């Protein structure tokens, strides 16, 4: 075995997790070393790296999407793809494993490797992730004597078995970096710190055991624990949150890693959509890097979709978009994607200085600082920060003045030229819309879920009310509770009772199992009581301890109505007979042909209430058109971000559109099945496509420009490269019109721009000439380009809003 030098240039000792292999090819000796770390950064093959990572969870998209998502991440400056490993997907019953389809973890990791990126495998196996039951399989709840996430032998035995199963699977495919694969990090447990504190000694013992168990798997790469201040050596404790610039690892020889930089927030049915301004996200990342951070993972970089019944919460939506740089459908979200891409470029220009030394911090004002990195080899990089939430600052640094907007950081890779500012967004904003497809109107058939015809062989009766998960084992969202009561009382009310025996049937509907906390074995759901009749002549009648009959699931589920090979015609009727007076608990089905094109597709569930959707037997997920409540009137990028700061969609359905992967479709005769719980009308349901309808851009005449610094650094002169506006529609589209254009001092925001006091009259003509009819265009921001200076000695910008249309619509 070849021994590697265990000291850095600055003689800093580092904790080593080496696996070094020497081998001979054609007489030339190559050295391949595994992943290690010191206080500055992870070292890959002995080299310190500043790494940007993005969370993409493989089951939240389809395998045909993976390559495109990973490539877009790479193009956006991402070095590492992070994913959880979902225990309940891979081991749905004890000892029975599933790694097919969306669960094909090996294929996903190999796709990462093929793209030339690294991987971070967060095995957990508790994942939280707004995922059903936190990723735990429900069968684990019924292991005798089990207690979750504590010093409990049955739980530890099961957790160790699954962890070792995943590690061995990765090893068998040579997927760890120590084997030449892409995996450079693994995580054990997940955000355990607070839970461990509540449990005291048992929590600490469990956490220590988990760390030792993980290390014993000998992966050849470091292990991390997020939000775990007590993580024992050699495990690295890491940070999760909206900001992590105040975080420091628990030992001075460990690197500073941000495992979850929250790019947005998840959505819950009944709530609005959360947005995190990219200016604030970029500011948070730059703050972390300037303080010595070296690894940032965006949670999420692509959120995707909670297909089937995988959403947790409860009440987490089927969409897991997360306001991520790549949206739920796999399309680039601008300006978030492009602005972060420029941030990554700027920081990578500083990498040599950042990993070589510690910063010298200098005050430049009451709320302003400079962090300066200067290496022994002469590399110098600086971060100029303005923490003021209201006022821009004119900062004097190295005898040069720099204008830094509020709540922002300017990055100077050479300690001279500002190539990027976190608050100055120079990339376009893409306006996304759901547009009609040419799919013919759906012709619906309906089937009423008939409670009176329940199969006695599928029911059982017992005394009192039972907890739902105990009965269903989470095989269905639905559980019927039924009892009978003789009418031996006088009742005044609106319910219809008849003489003799009355049947009372209650349907309990789960909307995802909780995903946060500990002691999952004690969690309950369903109708837990009391159940009583009030307003009777003799007072309240408690039915809690009556004999109740139970049936798991729906009759339509038992008949496999959602599957193409199991759609019996018995009981289906023309929906025109039912939509005039919609009934709850109704199945609806129709067939449709796949629309042309490659735009992502969705179902518009307008007019429906709540239920589930299947296409060709694949579960799209739960739908619910409940109206969102919240305050959507205020948003600013400045000031500390919290998830309720910037909201949209108030007064509208929380989720109206539901992703239909194109890979699930055939060219024709696709079966769409909907189970409607509340009584919605399917006549308004339609298939739509997601596309860019327009683009906006706003760039100042002195916008920071990376090219200027690059040319000067390579000794090619001091030529100033003027900033440019870049406009680009989606594939298959072109710019069909210029909706707004102004070089001067325009006002407003994308969708509602207005001319300011200064405006070049040629603005529209120039933009139309250079952009209309093209898929993309570039316009240089200069006075000469617009004929003359429209307002001398005034700081100007070019603002544009363009309309995107299919190229076929523009052909003569």
The model's confidence at residue 111, banded by pLDDT at 50, 70 and 90, is: very high
Backbone angles phi, psi at 780, to 5 degrees: -75, 140
- pLDDT at 714 exceeding the cut of 60: no
Say what the pLDDT of residue 11 is. 33
Q: How many CA atoms lie within 13 A of 290 on its CB side?
A: 29
- pLDDT at 809 exceeding the cut of 80: no
| CB-based contact 275:648 (threshold 8 Å) | yes
Q: Cα angle vertex 348, ends 343, 353, to 5°?
A: 125
Alpha-carbon gap, residue 23 to 2, rounded angstroms: 10
Say what the pLDDT of residue 709 is. 53
Work out the burial of residue 455: count CB atoms within 10 Å of its CB; fewer than 13 is exposed, 13-18 middle, 19 or more buried: exposed
Peptide linkage before 234 cis (omega within 30 of 0)? yes
> For 344, which DSSP code?
H
Alpha-carbon gap, residue 720 to 264, rounded angstroms: 36
Mean pLDDT of the 770-776 span: 96
- pLDDT at 723 exceeding the cut of 80: yes
Say what the pLDDT of residue 453 is. 63
Say what the pLDDT of residue 454 is. 64
Backbone angles phi, psi at 284, to 5 degrees: -65, -40
Write the CA distances from 274 to 496, 651, 699, integer angstroms: 44, 14, 26
| CB-based contact 416:398 (threshold 8 Å) | yes
- pLDDT at 691 exceeding the cut of 50: yes
Alpha-carbon gap, residue 226 to 709, rounded angstroms: 37
Say what the pLDDT of residue 458 is. 80
Say what the pLDDT of residue 797 is. 95
What are the tokens at 519?
């002691």
Alpha-carbon gap, residue 313 to 128, rounded angstroms: 9
- pLDDT at 507 exceeding the cut of 70: yes
Say what the pLDDT of residue 495 is. 64
Mean pLDDT of the 618-623 span: 98
Alpha-carbon gap, residue 167 to 161, rounded angstroms: 10
- The predicted-structure confidence for 295-342, as pLDDT tens digits, reads as follows 999 999 999 999 999 999 999 999 999 999 999 999 999 999 999 999
- The predicted-structure confidence for 523-555, as pLDDT tens digits, reads as follows 889 998 888 887 666 778 899 999 999 999 999
Mean pLDDT of the 117-124 span: 98
- pLDDT at 590 exceeding the cut of 50: yes
- The predicted-structure confidence for 446-491, as pLDDT tens digits, reads as follows 999 977 666 667 889 999 999 999 999 999 999 999 887 754 444 3
Mean pLDDT of the 368-372 span: 98
- pLDDT at 138 exceeding the cut of 60: yes
Mean pLDDT of the 429-451 span: 91
Which residue carries 């100033």 as its tokens?
A: 720
pTM given for the model: 0.93
- The predicted-structure confidence for 11-65, as pLDDT tens digits, reads as follows 333 333 333 333 333 333 333 458 999 999 999 999 999 999 999 999 999 999 9
Alpha-carbon gap, residue 692 to 707, rounded angstroms: 29
- pLDDT at 273 exceeding the cut of 90: yes
Which residue carries 């539901």 as its tokens?
A: 658
| CB-based contact 643:288 (threshold 8 Å) | no
Please give the positions annotated as active site: 191, 260
Question: Which parts of 34-175 are beta strand (E)?
Answer: 35-37, 42-44, 47-49, 51-56, 80-84, 118-124
Pairing of strands 35-37, 539-542: unpaired
Write the CA distances from 395 to 182, 285, 409, 418, integer angstroms: 43, 21, 11, 12
Write the CA distances from 637 to 26, 48, 327, 383, integer angstroms: 57, 33, 20, 19
Encode 54-71 in three state secondary structure. Answer: EEECHHHCCHHHHHHHHH
Question: Which strands form 420-421's sheet, in the order they lie side by side?
Answer: 360-365, 368-374, 380-386, 408-412, 420-421
| CB-based contact 34:63 (threshold 8 Å) | no
Say what the pLDDT of residue 370 is. 98
User: Does an H or E element contain 278, and which?
Assistant: helix 278-290
Give Rg (Cα) of the chain: 30
The model's confidence at residue 812, banded by pLDDT at 50, 70 and 90, is: low
Say what the pLDDT of residue 16 is. 34
Write the CA distances from 287 to 50, 410, 645, integer angstroms: 14, 10, 20
Average pLDDT of every residue of the chain = 91
Say what the pLDDT of residue 539 is. 74
> Exposure pattern of 402-412 as b/e (b: 16+ CB <10 Å)?
bebbbbbbbbb
Closest CA to 189 of 231, 139, 147: 231
- pLDDT at 245 exceeding the cut of 90: yes
What are the tokens at 66?
């993976």
């Amino acid at each position: 075995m070849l021994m590697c030098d265990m000291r850095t240039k600055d003689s800093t000792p580092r904790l080593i997790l080496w696996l070094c292999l020497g081998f001979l090819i054609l007489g030339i000796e190559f050295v391949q070393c595994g992943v290690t770390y010191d206080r500055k950064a992870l070292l890959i093959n002995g080299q310190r790296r500043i790494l940007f990572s993005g969370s993409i969870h493989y089951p939240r998209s389809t395998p045909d999407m993976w390559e495109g998502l990973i490539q877009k991440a790479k193009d956006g400056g991402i070095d590492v793809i992070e994913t959880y490993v979902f225990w309940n997907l891979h081991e749905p019953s004890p000892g029975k494993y599933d790694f097919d389809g969306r669960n094909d973890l090996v294929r996903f990791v190999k796709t990462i490797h093929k793209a030339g990126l690294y991987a971070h495998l967060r095995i957990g196996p508790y994942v939280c992730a707004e995922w059903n039951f936190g990723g735990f399989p429900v069968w684990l709840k019924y292991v005798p004597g089990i207690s979750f996430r504590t010093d409990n032998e049955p739980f530890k035995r099961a957790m160790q078995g699954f962890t070792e199963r995943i590690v061995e699977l990765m090893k068998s495919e040579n997927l760890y970096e120590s084997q030449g694969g892409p995996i450079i990090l693994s995580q054990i447990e997940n955000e355990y710190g607070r839970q461990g504190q509540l449990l005291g000694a048992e929590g600490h013992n469990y956490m220590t055991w988990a760390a030792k168990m993980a290390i014993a798997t000998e992966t050849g790469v470091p292990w991390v624990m997020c939000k775990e201040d007590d993580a024992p050596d050699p495990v690295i404790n890491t940070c999760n949150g909206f900001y992590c610039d105040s975080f420091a690892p628990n030992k001075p020889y460990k690197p500073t890693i941000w495992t979850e930089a929250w790019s947005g927030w998840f959505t819950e049915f009944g709530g609005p959509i959360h947005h995190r301004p990219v200016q604030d996200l970029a500011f948070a990342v730059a703050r972390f890097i300037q303080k010595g951070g070296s690894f940032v993972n965006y949670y999420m970089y692509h959120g995707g979709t909670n297909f089937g019944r995988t959403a947790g919460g409860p009440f987490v939506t089927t969409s897991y978009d997360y306001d991520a740089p790549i949206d739920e459908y796999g399309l680039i979200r601008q300006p978030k994607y492009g602005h972060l891409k420029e941030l990554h470029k700027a920081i990578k220009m500083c990498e040599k200085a950042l990993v070589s030394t510690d910063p010298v911090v200098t005050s430049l004002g009451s709320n302003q600082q400079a962090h300066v990195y200067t290496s022994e080899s002469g590399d110098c990089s600086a971060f100029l920060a303005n923490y003021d939430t209201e006022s821009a600052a004119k900062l004097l640094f190295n005898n040069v003045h720099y204008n830094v907007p509020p709540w922002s950081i300017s990055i100077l890779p050479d300690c001279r030229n500002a190539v990027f500012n976190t608050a100055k967004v120079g990339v376009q904003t893409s306006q996304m819309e759901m547009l009609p497809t040419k799919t013919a109107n759906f012709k619906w058939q309906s089937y009423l879920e008939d409670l009176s015809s329940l199969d006695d062989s599928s029911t059982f009766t017992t005394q009192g009310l039972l907890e739902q998960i105990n009965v269903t084992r989470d095989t269905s969202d639905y559980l019927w509770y039924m009892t009978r009561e003789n009418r031996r009382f006088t009742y005044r009310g609106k319910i219809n009772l008849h003489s003799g025996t009355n049947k009372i049937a209650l349907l309990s509907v789960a909307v995802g199992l909780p995903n946060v906390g500990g002691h999952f074995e004690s969690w309950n759901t369903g109708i837990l009581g009391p159940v009583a009749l009030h307003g009777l002549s003799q007072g309240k009648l408690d039915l809690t301890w009556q004999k109740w009959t139970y049936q798991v699931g729906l009759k339509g589920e038992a008949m496999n109505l959602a599957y193409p090979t199991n759609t019996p015609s018995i009981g289906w009727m023309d929906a025109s007979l039912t939509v005039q007076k919609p009934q709850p608990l109704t199945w609806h089905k129709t067939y449709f042909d796949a629309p042309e094109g490659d735009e992502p597709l969705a179902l518009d569930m307008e007019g429906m209430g709540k239920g589930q959707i299947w296409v060709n037997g694949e579960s799209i997920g739960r739908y619910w058109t409940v109206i969102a409540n919240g305050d959507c009137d205020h948003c600013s990028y400045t000031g500390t971000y919290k998830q309720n700061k910037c909201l949209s969609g108030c007064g509208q359905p929380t989720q109206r559109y539901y992703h239909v992967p194109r890979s699930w479709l055939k060219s024709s005769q696709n079966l769409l099945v909907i189970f409607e719980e509340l009584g919605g009308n399917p006549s308004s349901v339609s298939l739509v496509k997601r596309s860019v309808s327009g683009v906006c851009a706003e760039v100042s005449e002195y916008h920071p420009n990376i090219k200027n610094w690059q040319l000067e650094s390579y000794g090619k002169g001091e030529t100033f490269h003027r900033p440019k506006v870049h406009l680009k529609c989606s594939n298959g589209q072109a710019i069909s019109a210029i909706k707004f254009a102004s070089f001067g001092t325009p006002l407003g925001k994308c969708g509602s721009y207005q001319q300011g006091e200064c405006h070049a009259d040629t603005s529209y003509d120039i933009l139309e000439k250079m952009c209309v009819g093209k898929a993309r265009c570039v316009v240089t921001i200069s006075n000469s380009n617009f004929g003359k200076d429209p307002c001398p000695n005034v700081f100007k910008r070019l603002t544009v809003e363009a309309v995107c249309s299919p190229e076929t619509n523009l052909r003569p």
